[in-house]
Amino acid sequence: TRLASALSVPPDELLGGSVERPPGSGPRCGTGEPVLEMLDRADCLRLIAPGGVGRVGFNDQGGPTVLPVNYVLHDGAVYFRTAFGGPLDRGLRTGVEGLAFKIAFEVDRIDDVNREGWSVLVRGGAHLVAEEERDAVATLGVRPWAGGDRQLYVRVDAGEITGRRIRVCA
């Protein structure tokens, strides 16, 4: 339970107990109504600081696209890896020097049994990590689950960070 508390997740989730349940199927605990709380920047950064899986949203040639990525947070910026030639790489290579490719990056944790959770949205410019920075960024430990050749490092400068938490149980 100490690990679950440190990660702000229920112990059952760490043991895989909620993996097979569809979202929203759990019973409500307590008798109170859900409360929506807006999170400040510091709380948002604290929640996403452990890294893990987030979703990057952007427009590509086919329209809005959302992809899951493994990420780390370092010095207030989000870093992840992707494949050369993929949809995000094509968007980042605008051909205009210094032009930021605007994206949204989202991380959440949902307790579907208690109908509680939080989400953090980071909006900002995504940039390819420069060749001279790549070795330093590689030491941050971003390891994509998808495997394959994902040697393109991306940095998202957090221009705007917002977050929300829903609580029902005391």
pLDDT score recorded for residue 46: 95
Residue 127 falls within a domain, yes or no? yes
Average pLDDT over the chain, rounded to an integer: 80
Residue 12 falls within a domain, yes or no? no
Measure the CA–CA gap between 113 and 135, rounded to whole angstroms. 42
Q: Is the predicted pLDDT of residue 73 greater than 90, yes or no?
A: yes
Instruction: Identify the CATH number of the domain in which residue 154 sits.
Output: 2.30.110.10
Residue 17 falls within a domain, yes or no? no
Rounded to whole angstroms, what are the CA distances from 145 to 15, 18, 40, 53, 69? Answer: 19, 20, 30, 9, 8
Signed CA dihedral, 139, 140, 146, 151: sign only: negative
Measure the CA–CA gap between 163 and 117, rounded to whole angstroms. 11
Range of the domain at 84: 28-167
Residue 4 falls within a domain, yes or no? no
Report how many domains make up the chain: 1
Residue 2 falls within a domain, yes or no? no
Share of the chain above pLDDT 70, in %: 75
**Local confidence band at 21 (pLDDT 50, 70, 90 cut-offs):** very low
Residue 19 falls within a domain, yes or no? no
Tens digits of residue pLDDT in 104-163: 999 999 998 888 999 999 999 988 887 788 777 777 777 777 767 677 888 999 889 999
Mean pLDDT of 14-28: 51
Report the amino acid identity of residue 137: V
Mean pLDDT of 45-69: 91
Task: Give the pTM.
Answer: 0.74
Measure the CA–CA gap between 170 and 167, rounded to whole angstroms. 8
Q: Is the predicted pLDDT of residue 29 greater than 50, yes or no?
A: no
Rounded to whole angstroms, what are the CA distances from 4 to 1, 12, 95, 110, 133? Answer: 5, 9, 45, 13, 34
